[in-house]
Structure 1
Amino acid sequence: MTAETAAGRRRLALAVLAAASLALSACAQVPTSSPVGTSPPLAGAEQEQDVPLYVPAGPVRDAEAPEIIRGFLAAGVGAQDDYAIARQYLTGDASADWDPHRRTVVYSSQPTVTRVDEDGTYLVQVEIDSIVDQNGIRTAVPSGTTEAWELTVTDVDGQRRISAAEDGTMLSGSQFAAIYAPHELYFFDPTFTYAVPDVRWFINRGTTAAAMTRALLAGPAEPLGGAVVSAFPAGSGSQLSRPTVPVTDGVASVDLAASTVDGMDSDRRERLRQQIEMTLEGLSTVESVEVTVDLDPLAVEGEADHLEPVEVNPSKGTVQVGVDPTNRTLAFFQGLSVTPVGGLRNVSALDPVEPAMNRARTDFVFLTSDRTQMYRADTEGTLKQIVSGISLTRPTVDGLDWAWTVDSGSSSRIRAVPLGDQEDGTAREVSTPWLTSDETIRALQVGPTGARAALLVESEGTVSLRVAGVVRGEDGVPSSLTDPQTLETTVPMRDVFWIDDVTLAVTDYADDAEDKIEPQVISLDGTRRTLNPLAGLTGFSAGDSQSFYAETENGVYLLLGSSWRSQELTRPVRDLAFPG
């Protein structure tokens, strides 16, 4: 069924419901809990250890249609044996047609079941939170979004059974959290420098490894499409030779169809192996991966040792860069020590603010205090203006050593400049074709792998957090940002920071010393947590392992547990930033 057809059916069903509002009807709420137990293992499939599974009840004899529908929806939590219990509520033909894996709807309010007509048609209506597709891609929906599913009930040997049902399952938020878990698939940045994680959601059961592998073969989720590359060619029909990925004694066995690797050279086959290994070794049950093609070992002619290994989860380290206000120079901050950055030209006349640096701590950028110029400085003594504009945003340096800022005074033009010996050092404009004329980019930071950009976009006084993919050539030169996804936040925002490649922090800044600011941490898996407030917060930085620093007019603070603790520094420092 196409999305258009399904949508049409749902609109028709709603119209029929409205017309029949005075007719015979039956309404009831669907239960959101089921007994919890442990199902028997699936024969021949790999097993996740000690994972509790919901074990719903089967149909009750002589149950009426609404009860059958409620039981069917409640049985959607029982994924074992390919939803065998849920299928007991269906007729034989409906069971053969029903695809529970197509999508999972996560609802935020109790579903209701309403009879539409005398022909056994019923409508399930529900307010939803998100939808997970068959490849584990979870899409959050705006608050207040509703969905309606049409089902038909008929008599089979004197018992009510469902003869037509929408593909997919419905789960409450608590049920979803209990049986699903986020996992990371891995793709490559176009230069094959970094492994880029792509967060997906899969049911915790014996088929998780197979589901992850199939999703990996299907390609990246938006907004990473166009921003990352896969060893599996897009649209190639890449597939497994067998539907399962068994895990035996910690070894996951992935058997690919021959058509998947036909025409691949040795380098690409080795990248394919790396991609599968990085993805599946994230499972607690997998220690190593064996890749075969139609049960024969994956052939890699010669040695692929010449391939540079890609970096997974690049670290920011513990050193930050900041500005020493006593002499207006750039300084390193680590522990409680503030030390000058050696090898730099004197920048005090430029009155630097908002510095940023690369991971090697050799190249730096900063703004002048009026935010009209961005300068580059390095430990070889280079000092050069590289961008000029109006209301430039806080600079960011990505993992491929490109420095970024946004010229907020000229239709939010994004400017990116290569550092070091790359290219010619000329600023390039990175296009955002999705940005409308009434939207302004207020903050930008590019993620550690350079594959994602986080942006705060203001429109009509409202600021939203968006994450886009960074489109680059094989040489790493950025050209555009993909259509972004919007992440829900619940705090005022003036700046955004990457903690790692799948986690962000946003914060407002205080207008006075009494203004209490609550930064918030947002993960690409959809989870959020709000940090304790700090009065007078004027600066913020986020490092590895969610180490958070904040600044006020009184100095620097470190978040310890849930409390902000003042740091006794060797000398003052401001505008702190980890690499990135």
Structure 2
Amino acid sequence: MRRGMLHRAAAVAMAAALAVMLSACAGLPTSGPVFAGLQPGAVAPPDFSYVPVKPQDGASPEQIVQGFIDAGIGPESNWAIAQLYLAPSFQGKWNPSATTTIDDRSARSYVATDDGHVVLTVTQQATVDADGVYKTSDGGQTPLSFELAKVEGQWRISKAPDGIVLGVDQFASVFHQYPLMYFDPAWRYLVPDMRWFPSINAPTRIATALIDGKPSSWLAGSVVSAFTDDVSLDPVSVSVTGSTGRVGLTRAALSLDRQTLDRMQTQLVYSMTAAGISDVAMEYNSSPLTAQPVSTRSTRIDPRALVQTDKAFGFLASGGDVEAVKGVSDAVAKLHPVSAQLSADYTTAAVRTGDGAVARASSTGGGAVLDRRSGLVDPVVDPQNYIWSVPSADPHALIAYAPDGNGVKIAGAWSNASRVTAMALSRDGTRLAAIVTVGGQSTIEIAGIVRDQNGVPTSLGDSTTLGTLPHAGVSLTWLSDTTLGAVAGTGGDTIVVQQTVSGPATSTSAPDDAVTIAGTTGTTVRLLGDDGTLYSQRGSNWEKAGAGVRVLGEAQGIPPSQG
């Protein structure tokens, strides 16, 4: 096998994601004595190579603009160093938090004129908006215009676009990714809405976005929040003592019932974990509000591979034995599956049969064919045991089949796509991702699932593009609640892409014959070759973990009785 050539967007995404992993070590020496680590909630000092520099006397307009852009790496005190490059009349008018442009620093171009005007052209790779929402860009060039004036003999910026510009290599040293936790509409699962904020004062940024903000637009119709519209953060800051964050709320919180307060507490605690906060104290006017986190369903799955072999359908045990799933395994095997996904309660499996139909295998009712349309992709099953099916050549014809066999046409499915190759439904039942073809390009898109008050799926929200694949997509899965895995390409160009939801992607080479991908609750990624070889990822290598596997399936959860 050989590594496939990636286009610019994939390469940039790899660098960004690598920086995310390395950012945890920012500021740590690579040799010398060992020192105590940071206290919970503390922020590591910035990398020494990314310390902003104050404006220098005698600097030209071009140098002032370049220094101002470079100072975007310093978010302390509302980008205080960058503010020094501004004329007094403009200070306070520039909004650094409005947007963050992530670019290729090596491609920047500064052009100055004699009248104090400088144009910076950047090659935009991604953006982060004021709410922390990350979006990929097409890599096109964007001009940014600056006006300068003399202030006490020194050039200063008198007009500039809002926001900052960071190189791909700098981004993860300034911004970290944090989950804003919402509930699914049935209040059973926590659903992460991934955002990017500067690590400086992250608990306040998280609380502000969660309490006073809204879910990302593509997810808004698919999740709910316990925070009511009349409850706000007050004061607009979170004080941190040790690993506890103190969150002040407005008077309206006093009238909320205990269940609502407990759910609010749950959202705050799990949203702030990534910022080093393990406990949250909600308060009104410095007086504590009594609340504790509620119990939620886990999206954990069995770490063993779910397979169909010559012997049976079930979980692969040591020695090549297969542990059957009671009732379901026999029903799956009788359908001669080419794909199978097991429901979270282990009572149902969504199956694509050998003759191309989509069927339900049930622990009580055997097998029942649901969909015989031509060219169906591998079906998926949600927490309510609806089985989702769609023809590859007709992405808009998405149907969810209820446990009683009745089909519900899902509105709004991938309106811009000409084909759908694979789909993956999040284990919490709120998000549907797919590999689709738009304008001849294979992309990973995601949309929220909208349900009625009875939990019946009715439509998809507006989809958003997570990333573009360098080769044709083949298979898709959820590796975790926040990361998708995809197989793309064939032969020597086969790769595995790990795509963060609302974030960058990484790519690695894969076995030439890989046709199916599946993940576990941990970091293990599995692949199935078209000759029945099962592969398991170990670091950057793929080890053979089995043979004679006809189908590599996956489960959507694990029954509480087996947890």
> For the superposition of Structure 1 and Structure 2, which TM-score range results when normalised by the shorter chain?
0.7 to 0.9
Greater displacement, 76-85 / 455-464 = 455-464
Distance in 2, Cα, partners of 1:143 & 1:161? 30
Instruction: Give the structure 2 partner of residue 388 of structure 1.
Output: 372
Tell me, yes or no, if structure 1 residue 558 matches structure 2 residue 536: yes
Greater displacement, 127-136 / 407-416 = 407-416
Specify the SS of the correspondent of 1:167: coil
Tell me, yes or no, if structure 1 residue 451 matches structure 2 residue 430: yes
Distance in 1, Cα, partners of 2:442 & 2:58? 55
Distance in 2, Cα, partners of 1:229 & 1:297? 25
Residues 573/114 of structure 1: CA separation in 2 closer, same or farther (3 Å cut): closer
What does 1:77-476 correspond to in 2, within 5 Å?
77-109=73-105, 110-116=107-113, 118=115, 120-144=116-140, 146-205=141-200, 207-217=201-211, 218-233=213-228, 236=229, 238-259=231-252, 261=253, 264-284=256-276, 286-298=277-289, 309-311=295-297, 314-325=299-310, 330-335=313-318, 336-344=320-328, 350-371=335-356, 373-408=357-392, 412-419=396-403, 424-432=404-412, 434-436=414-416, 439-459=418-438, 461-476=440-455
1:338-369 C-alpha deviation (Å, 9 max, x unpaired): 24443355566643321111123222221221
% of aligned pairs identical? 25
Q: Which has the higher contact order (CA 8 A, sep 6+)?
A: 2
Distance in 2, Cα, partners of 1:367 & 1:564? 27
TM superposition shift of 1:37: 8.1
Structure 2 letter corresponding to 1:499: L
Instruction: Give the structure 1 partner of residue 549 of structure 2.
Output: 573
Residues 164/388 of structure 1: CA separation in 2 closer, same or farther (3 Å cut): same
TM superposition shift of 1:537: 2.5
Structure 2 letter corresponding to 1:352: P
Structure 2 letter corresponding to 1:112: S
Structure 2 letter corresponding to 1:167: D
Specify the SS of the correspondent of 1:281: helix
TM superposition shift of 1:461: 4.3
Distance in 2, Cα, partners of 1:362 & 1:470? 22
Specify the SS of the correspondent of 1:61: coil
Residues 194/442 of structure 1: CA separation in 2 closer, same or farther (3 Å cut): same
Distance in 2, Cα, partners of 1:69 & 1:515? 46
Structure 2 letter corresponding to 1:240: L
Maintained 8 Å contact 1:406/1:443? no
Maintained 8 Å contact 2:335/2:367? no
Distance in 2, Cα, partners of 1:51 & 1:96? 26
Distance in 2, Cα, partners of 1:319 & 1:362? 18
Provide the TM-score with structure 2 as the length reference.
0.84
1:461-499 C-alpha deviation (Å, 9 max, x unpaired): 432211111112243221111121211333431221111
Whichever of the two has the greater Rg, that structure is: 1
Greater displacement, 270-279 / 458-467 = 458-467
Structure 2 letter corresponding to 1:291: M
Distance in 2, Cα, partners of 1:524 & 1:557? 25
Structure 2 letter corresponding to 1:368: T
Distance in 1, Cα, partners of 2:326 & 2:134? 47
**Alignment root-mean-square deviation, CA:** 2.7
Residues 237/309 of structure 1: CA separation in 2 closer, same or farther (3 Å cut): same
Instruction: Give the structure 2 partner of residue 537 of structure 1.
Output: 514
Maintained 8 Å contact 1:442/1:455? yes
Maintained 8 Å contact 1:363/1:379? yes
Distance in 1, Cα, partners of 2:362 & 2:154? 78
Distance in 2, Cα, partners of 1:180 & 1:165? 22
